[in-house]
A and B are shown apart, each in its own frame.
Chain A
Amino acid sequence: MILRLAWRNIGRNKRRTALTLAAVVFAVVLVVHMIALTTGVHERMIEDNVRMHAGHLQLTGAGYLEDRTLERFVRWTPELAAAVDATPGVAAAAPRVNGFALLSNGSASQGVALLGVDPVREGGVSTWPERVVRGAFLGTGEREILLGERLAEALRVDLGDQVLAYTVAYTLENAYELFTVRGLIHAPEPRLERSLALITLRDAQALFAYEGRVSEVALLARDSSRLDETSRSLAAAVSAQSREPLDVNPWPVVMPELAQLLVIDNAQNYSMLGILVVVVAFGILNTILMSVLERQRELGVMLALGLAPREIFRLVYAESLLLCGLGLALGLGLALALPAAVFMEGHPIPIRGDVREMSEMFGFTPVISWQLTAWNPALATLLMTAIALLAALYPAAKAASARPVDALRSL
């Protein structure tokens, strides 16, 4: 009965109802899309960073992140490799030796981070193999090295030339090896490109006298939203295989700067959303209040006829809820239909021009992507319900508290 009354009431002033509905629909579409866009851009950033080098998860010797020395290592035995590969949720694993060396050619020399990678496994986790701009990625050859383009320039070497690597091995002995330049790589950062060289895991273990050991194992997860779970099963799987204590760290621990950046960005986006929601809430408050004030006489008559104030309260509330519910339904429908109509999902928008160059420099795919998760419509629904409940509170209370005599006399 109240519902029917409410339905008729919102149907009475069609123009006002349409405008309010439009505000709600617009707000819903905006909420859903803003979050989808943020999520899309963030997920892309995470994925780019993860694939650049770090991986979703890293398996290291205990305490390696705080003290990146050769003393903290993982014994990369065939048994451990098998255990890692068999862990549910692990898509790929790449063992690495992270060392430091002086590369030298004639009077040119440069201190570099010397990275030993497994030529077969590395491509499963990171995009290093794709970042070779000249020459080829590491293979089965012995004593071959990949240099950052700028590093090769600084050392004045080209493909096929030799460079001398000079370092202190795990045994604290001086270690030297001549390497042949097999390829040049493009690194996301100029600074990194000047100070990074890749060799095979086998050569790195020989150079650093690091038999069977690796510094880290970078892992790519099948499902990046279930890292905790994968992390736990991995820790359980490897603990049985290793004599030394090991750490499993997810990317936010390995790359805290990125995690913090995303938190800040999220805070900004959500405060913008908050402001938007408040604006919409006032719009709805205005509509309902107007309709109540307009119907003072009518509500007075209803009270005089014996309708309880509680029921008047419910009536106004029902109107608000109906309005928001209708707006929500239309808004969600539009929000979900829109991306399908304009091919947003799975079709990122490419960026061009200067911004493209900049984002490539930092190693990001120059696209704006859009990603809808179940969380978006849920959040929109939650917000709209909250708005409907809050915005109707004052008008409903006002309508219910009116005295019939005053209400009738006021007109």
Chain B
Amino acid sequence: MRRLAALGLATAFAAAAAAQDARLEPPPAQPSARALAEQVEATFRGEASFLDATMSVTSPRLPAPRRVRFQSWDDRGGKRSFIRILEPAKDRGTAFLKLHPNLWSWVPRVERTIRVPPSMMLQSWMGSDFTNDDLVRESSVLDDYDHRWLGVEPSHQGARAFVIEYRPREGAPVVWGRIVAWIDPVKLAPLRQEYYDEAGVKLRVMTLGGFRAVGDRQYPHHWSMLPLDKPGHETSIEVNAIRFDEKFDAEIFTHRNLTRRE
């Protein structure tokens, strides 16, 4: 495993070196990395968004992928979000409420609310390769990271892509050592994100595709998370519906809503 990780590291370095000389052509008009990050964040999350999605978890443990359908209400400005599980039937009604800085989970079967402590943030969410932290990201891509322009890749998945790097600022509540993102220059949306730990080992890769117009933006309707340290595991998310700039009822982000019975 360690050797594999080391190999991954070596490849990453080699790729970075190659990127320095051959693969990347000089940017025509180099946008600021910070501005890019801002635009991507605006495209991807927006201020207030509603999402209906189906997650499929593939694992060597499972004969068939486990599918989880959920709805999420994400209020970035208010630092609060709410998620409710619709499928599978066994988990229906399970809900998550984030009111900064706390995360609560409602378990209908035993009718209990659980406060998820910070130490659990890196644990798997609903058995997937996404973590609780991914779900209710405490950290801000804009405020907790420094952004650096790495270059342009002429042919990433057949198209040109800007490559920028996110490095956490000193003392930021961030779990990654760095993130490298490939960004579509036209759609201003992420195509691929690679997550590295503090030792520089690449841990997981998220790829985004299936772009469709939502309002005036191009939004990726298919996300796939590949954990590199767990062979055979993969989690993908298919977006069934996404709406931006919603006006949310304050009632959504309450404990009453969390424990609501359908």
A residues engaging B (CB < 8 A)? 66-67, 70-71, 100, 102, 104, 107-111, 164, 166, 168-174, 176-178
Out of B61, B91, B117, B126, name the residue touching A110 (CB < 8 Å): B117
CB–CB A102/B114 < 8 A: yes
Chain B interface category by residue count: 20 to 34
Beyond A104-B112, A110-B117, A164-B114, whether A66 also contacts B1 by CB under 8 A is: yes
Identify which of residues 55-90 in chain B touch chain A, using a CB-to-CB cut-off of 8 Å. 57, 59-62, 66, 88, 90
Out of A102, A170, A174, name the residue touching B120 (CB < 8 Å): A102
A-B CB contacts (within 8 Å), total count: 68
CB–CB A174/B91 < 8 A: yes
Q: Identify whether the interface residues of A are mostly helix, strand, loop, or mixed.
A: strand
Q: How far, in angstroms, from A6 to B60 measured CA to CA in the complex? A: 81
CB–CB B66/A173 < 8 A: yes
Out of A67, A109, A177, A178, name the residue touching B117 (CB < 8 Å): A109
Q: What residue in chain A is nearest B105 (Cβ atoms)? A: A166
28 residue pairs of the A-B complex, CB under 8 angstroms, read A70-B61, A102-B114, A102-B120, A102-B123, A104-B112, A108-B115, A109-B114, A109-B116, A110-B117, A111-B117, A111-B119, A111-B120, A111-B123, A164-B110, A164-B112, A166-B114, A168-B124, A168-B127, A171-B66, A171-B127, A172-B57, A172-B59, A172-B61, A172-B62, A172-B128, A173-B90, A174-B127, A177-B110
CB–CB A71/B1 < 8 A: no
> Which B residues touch A178, using CB under 8 A?
110, 112
Q: How far, in angstroms, from A41 to B112 measured CA to CA in the complex? A: 50
CB–CB B94/A174 < 8 A: yes
Name the distance in Å between A3's Cβ and chain B's nearest Cβ.
65
B107 within 8 Å of A (CB atoms): yes
Out of B60, B90, B115, name the residue touching A109 (CB < 8 Å): B115
CB–CB B107/A166 < 8 A: yes
CB–CB A67/B1 < 8 A: yes
Identify which of residues 198-232 in chain B touch chain A, using a CB-to-CB cut-off of 8 Å. none
CB–CB A176/B66 < 8 A: no
B109 within 8 Å of A (CB atoms): yes
Q: What residue in chain B is nearest A178 (Cβ atoms)? A: B110
Identify which of residues 118-136 in chain B touch chain A, using a CB-to-CB cut-off of 8 Å. 119-120, 123-124, 126-128
Name the distance in Å between A354's Cβ and chain B's nearest Cβ.
33
